[in-house]
Structure 1
C-alpha cells in the first residue's frame, strides 16, 4: 500500500491532536486558537511553497477547511476528545456521495462495503464513550465531518496543484475567515500548556497533517483514502492501553475488529469506476 508511509504519521498526529485541541479551546476561544493555528501553519509552509496564487478554487477550499475547523473546535467545547473523534469519523460516509457528485468517482461495491462496515465499527467502538455529550456539540461535530468530507473531495479536484502551495494559501485565507468569529467569543485565559497546544496544532496538527492528507488524496481515490481514516480510532485504543493502562471493553474491541475489517475490505482489488473527473 503506497500510502502507508503517509498514513502512519497522519494517524499518530491525528490521534494526539484531539487532546491538544481540546486543551486549547478550554483556555481561549476556538476562533482565537484556530486562527493562531492557521496563521502559524501558513508561515511555516511559506518558505516551501513553489508558487502562491489566489483563485476561486483556493477561496472555496479555504471556506471549506476553515468552516470544518470552526465547527470541530466549537464542538470540542461540548464533547470530549474521544467523543469528538468518534463523531468526526462519520466523515467517510459523507465523502462517498460527495465524491460521486463533485469529481464523478463511482465507488466499487468493495469500497461501499468497506466504508459501511468501518462506520459500523465506529458506532460499536463509540457506544461506551457516548455518555453526557450534548446534542448541540454532536451536531457541530457531525457538521464538521460533512465539511471535512467536502474539502477532502475538493483536494482531489485540485490534485494537479502543489499541496504545499495550496495549503499555504488556504491557511492564510482560512485564518482570516476564522478571525471573523472572534467578536462573538473573546475569551482568552491561556495557561502554561497553551504554547504547547497551539504549536502542536499549528505545526504537526496543522501544516504537516493537512499536507499528509492532501498528498494521500492525490495518490488514490477519495473512497479508498477516507476509509483509512478509521485507523485513527483504532490507534487511539492501542495508545490508551500503553499510556493510560486502560483495558478496552468488549464493545471497543468489537468496534476495532469491525473497523479493521472495513479497512481490509476496502483495500481488496476492485478499484473505482471513474465516470468523468473534472479539475479546476
Structure 2
C-alpha cells in the first residue's frame, strides 16, 4: 500500500503541480488510508466474493453520512436504488461462496464505512482541484503506510508483483481516486455511490468472457438486481418529460 499510494500520488503530481496539507486533506487521508488498510486486512480472512458483498454496503452508509456532514437529504429513489442494488450484491456474492469469517466480515464492513466517509468528504471538498486533492492525500497516505510497514513486513518482488503493483497504483490508484473525486464534484452522493454497483457487474461479465469464472443463474439474478438498483436511483433522469406546446389563437 505504501508503494501503491506513492506511485499513484507521483503520477498525479505533475498535473497538480503542488501539494496542499491542511485540515481537509489530512482528514481525507486518514479516511482513505483507513479504508484501504481495512479492506486489505479483511482479504486475509474472507474470499474476494465475500469482500465484494460486504464492501458494497458502502452506498448504505454514504447516504446517512452525507445527510450529517453535508445536509444532503437523500431522495426516495436513491435510497431504494441503494437498498435494491445491495440486495443484488448479496445474491451475487453468495452464489459464489457460502462461508464467512466474523473477523474478516467486521474488518471489511469497517472498510465500507470509511469508503463511504471519504466519498462524502470528496463532495465536501468539491471546490478544490481533484488533482491537488488526490496527489496530496496519496503522497501523505504513502508516508502513513510506510510508517506502518514494519508490522508484519513481507516483500516478495517479482515481475508479476511489479505488473500488479503498477496496475493497482495507476488504474486502481491515480485514475480511480481522481475520477471518483471528479464524479462527486458533479453529482449528489446518493447517485454516485449507487453507480458503484456497476463495478461487480462489468468485472463479472469480463471474467465470464475470458473464462476466469463461470456464472450461474443466481449470479445473473444478482447482477440484474444490481442494475435495477442503479436504474431506480436515476429514475428522475429517465422520466420522459414532454414539452409543453402553446397554441396561438388568432382573433
- 2:174 maps to what in 1? 207
Matched, 1:156 2:118: no
- 2:42 maps to what in 1? 75
- 2:159 maps to what in 1? 192
RMSD over aligned Cα atoms:
1.6
- 1:39 maps to what in 2? 6
Kept after mapping to 1: 8 A contact 2:52/2:93: no
Point out 4+ residue stretches in structure 1 off by more than 4 angstroms: none
Name which of 79, 98, 103 aligns with 1:136. Answer: 103
- 2:27 maps to what in 1? 60
Q: Which has the larger radius of gyration?
A: 2
- 1:11 maps to what in 2? none
- 2:247 maps to what in 1? none
- 1:17 maps to what in 2? none
- Using the size of structure 1 for normalisation, the TM-score is 0.81
- Using the size of structure 2 for normalisation, the TM-score is 0.90
Matched, 1:268 2:228: no
Give me the whole-angstrom Cα distance separating, in 2, the residues matched to 1:191 and 1:86.
31
Give me the whole-angstrom Cα distance separating, in 1, the residues matched to 2:20 and 2:177.
18
Name which of 184, 188, 200 aligns with 1:233. Answer: 200
State the Cα deviation string for residues 93-119 of structure 1 (Å, max 9, x = none). Answer: 110110100111101111111111111
Give me the whole-angstrom Cα distance separating, in 1, the residues matched to 2:82 and 2:142.
32
Task: Indicate how the Cα distance of structure 1 residues 195 and 112 shifts in structure 2: closer, same or farther if over 3 A, else same.
Answer: same
Matched, 1:250 2:217: yes
- 1:119 maps to what in 2? 86
Indicate the larger mover: 45-54 or 64-73.
Answer: 45-54
| Structure 2, unpaired ranges of 5+ | 238-251
Give me the whole-angstrom Cα distance separating, in 1, the residues matched to 2:211 and 2:97.
19
Indicate the larger mover: 142-151 or 81-90.
Answer: 81-90
Give me the whole-angstrom Cα distance separating, in 2, the residues matched to 1:81 and 1:194.
19
Kept after mapping to 2: 8 A contact 1:86/1:233: no
Give me the whole-angstrom Cα distance separating, in 1, the residues matched to 2:163 and 2:99.
28
Matched, 1:221 2:188: yes
Kept after mapping to 1: 8 A contact 2:123/2:189: yes
| Aligned residue-pair number | 238
Give me the whole-angstrom Cα distance separating, in 2, the residues matched to 1:244 and 1:141.
27
Could you tell me how far 1:37 is from its partner in structure 2? 0.4
Kept after mapping to 2: 8 A contact 1:96/1:107: yes
